[in-house]
Amino acid sequence: MSNMYVITKKQLRMLALGLILIVLIYSVWMWNQADTVAGSQEQPRIIHMVIGEFSSTTKSGTEFEVYRWDPGTIAVKEGEAVELRILGVNGDHHTFEIEGLDVKGEVKKGKETVVRFLAEKEGIYRIICHNHSDIAHQGPMIGYIIID
């Protein structure tokens, strides 16, 4: 014998209502997922830098060294939150500032220094090491942050 099922109009409406509810819940869930991904832009952009050193010898036998930021130029977008993670590879310590951004710090050899800032205004900003400000002090050790 075979069994027959009879679906009433009321059961059909309940099934349709259930399907609509499932689609609605799924849509809201997907919308929230999209907001989460878009919201992740509020996390700072992490940029890794190192402090390096070049040394050379002139024809007369004089040895000299210069220090540098690597990378020497960083480009970020206006309004972007930025986190610089600077590793001291060469030199005992480097006190620095980023002109115009009110960022100051010190990098020590073998340590990572983390500085954060909001790239609020378009322009070119110098990151300057005060220990190596000119050729007499194994510099100039200057890098650039471009906010575009």
* Per-residue pLDDT tens over the stretch 106-144: 999 999 999 999 999 999 999 999 999 888 888 899 999
> Given a cut of 50, is residue 25 above it in pLDDT?
yes
> pTM score, two decimals?
0.67
Average pLDDT over residues 13-36: 79
Is pLDDT above 90 for 78?
yes
Give the per-residue pLDDT at 41: 52
Both tokens of 138, joined, read: 């194994």
pLDDT at 24: 87
